[in-house]
Amino acid sequence: MTGTRALSIGPVLFNWTPESWRDFYFRMADEAPVDAAYVGEVVCSKRAPFFAPHFEAVVERLRGGGKEVIVSLLAQVTSKIDRRLVLDLAGMEGLTVEVNDAAALASVSGKPHTVGPFFNVYNEDTLCFLAHRGAEVFCLPPELPKQAIAVLGDAAAKHDVQIEVQVFGRIPLALSARCYHARAHGLTKDGCQFVCDRDPDGMTLNTWEGKPFLVINGIQTMSHSCLNLLHEIETLAGLGVRRFRLSPDSHDMVQTAQVFRDVLDGRMNADEACTKLAADRPGVEFSNGFFHKVAGNTWSTASA
């Protein structure tokens, strides 16, 4: 961990080709100034077998690059196949896992683990309960406002656990038992033909007026705007946040990680960093509304 502010790269949420997925993590291992990397399939268990042949090499490469490796588990467990995948990964020796669904709790009870942003940790009682069962890091749901993060930051300090917050990337909003991505192509979930791989950053969903509003990623609904909390870094640190998560997209995440690392370490101010991010992602709309307790897809200058 660099100082007291760790930078992490979250799991790839989109259906990239196995080679692209592998090469992404190889590059993060070799070039990105991140302290921790989350790997694993979070959205759809049907995708997991494609990445399995590269899993061991990715973990080894990340560890060789000095990164802490955490295996992210499924965020929605609805079938025997889903449950088997969760149980198999949770039972692996020598790997810390990130729990995103209560189905994994029995398997990790008493063992050090991380609680992910898909697990609804909204209050101190939930954090306390999970901390007593072995959770050491809590990545909070990205829709929480500053006031809620402050309360949970205080609770985390009392229980000697760490708080992590997503500070960049598309915001995960909802999961469904059905696959809208398949439905949009006239297919069913069981016969999806993995059409979600056509959209490396998700499929844009427009309003009736034709304005981009959401993004569909298989069974997942995400924000169309890209979360950007560069201006809120100092506030978050003051609230007790010690880990800052970037959620991957198909742009240059090494460059993105360097921008956030420079801000975390005080080498670049937030205004300059935002200008650099915008230049690297032409046409991408940034948002920070949830943090400021307003509409999540809006941009607030309250912290600027």
Quote the CA–CA distance of 296 and 204 in Å, as a whole number: 17
Beta-strand (E) ranges in 15-153? 36-39, 68-72, 96-99, 113-115, 135-139
Residues recorded for the chain: 304
Sign of CA dihedral 146, 7, 2, 54: positive
Per-residue model confidence (pLDDT) at position 1: 41
Per-residue model confidence (pLDDT) at position 28: 98
> Has residue 303 got a pLDDT over 80?
no
Read off the amino acid at residue 220: Q
79: DSSP letter: S
Q: What is the pLDDT of residues 255-281, one digit of tens each?
A: 999 999 999 999 999 999 999 999 999
Place of tokens 């929480």: 144
65: DSSP letter: T
> Has residue 302 got a pLDDT over 60?
yes
Q: What is the pLDDT of residues 180-219, one digit of tens each?
A: 999 999 999 999 999 999 999 999 999 999 999 999 999 9
> Has residue 95 got a pLDDT over 50?
yes
Is residue 192 within 8 Å of 264, Cβ to Cβ? no
Is residue 248 within 8 Å of 24, Cβ to Cβ? yes
Domains present along the chain, CATH in parentheses? 6-173+224-292 (3.20.20.70)
Per-residue model confidence (pLDDT) at position 18: 96
Is residue 256 within 8 Å of 300, Cβ to Cβ? no
Is residue 199 within 8 Å of 186, Cβ to Cβ? no
Residue 178 three-state SS: coil
> Has residue 3 got a pLDDT over 60?
no
Is residue 131 within 8 Å of 159, Cβ to Cβ? yes
- Say what the pTM is: 0.95
Place of tokens 């640190």: 237
> Has residue 82 got a pLDDT over 70?
yes
DSSP 3-state percent helix, strand, coil across the chain (nearest 5):
40, 20, 40
Residue 174: in which H helix or E strand, if any? strand 162-175
Residue 99, number of CB atoms within 10 A of its CB: 26
* Average pLDDT of the residues in 48-73: 96
**In 143-186, which residue ranges form alpha helices assigned H by DSSP?**
146-158, 180-184
Instruction: State the average pLDDT for the chain.
Output: 95
Quote the CA–CA distance of 301 and 234 in Å, as a whole number: 14
What confidence category does residue 2 fall into, taking pLDDT thresholds of 50, 70 and 90? very low
Q: What is the pLDDT of residues 131-187, one digit of tens each?
A: 999 999 999 999 999 999 999 999 999 999 999 999 999 999 999 999 999 999 999
Read off the amino acid at residue 284: V
Residues with Cβ within 8 Å of 209's Cβ and at least 6 positions away in sequence, in order, are: none
78: DSSP letter: -
Q: Percent of the chain at pLDDT above 70? A: 98
Per-residue model confidence (pLDDT) at position 304: 61
Backbone angles phi, psi at 128, to 5 degrees: -60, -45
* Average pLDDT of the residues in 238-248: 97
**In the numeric block, which tokens belong to residue 243?**
């880990």
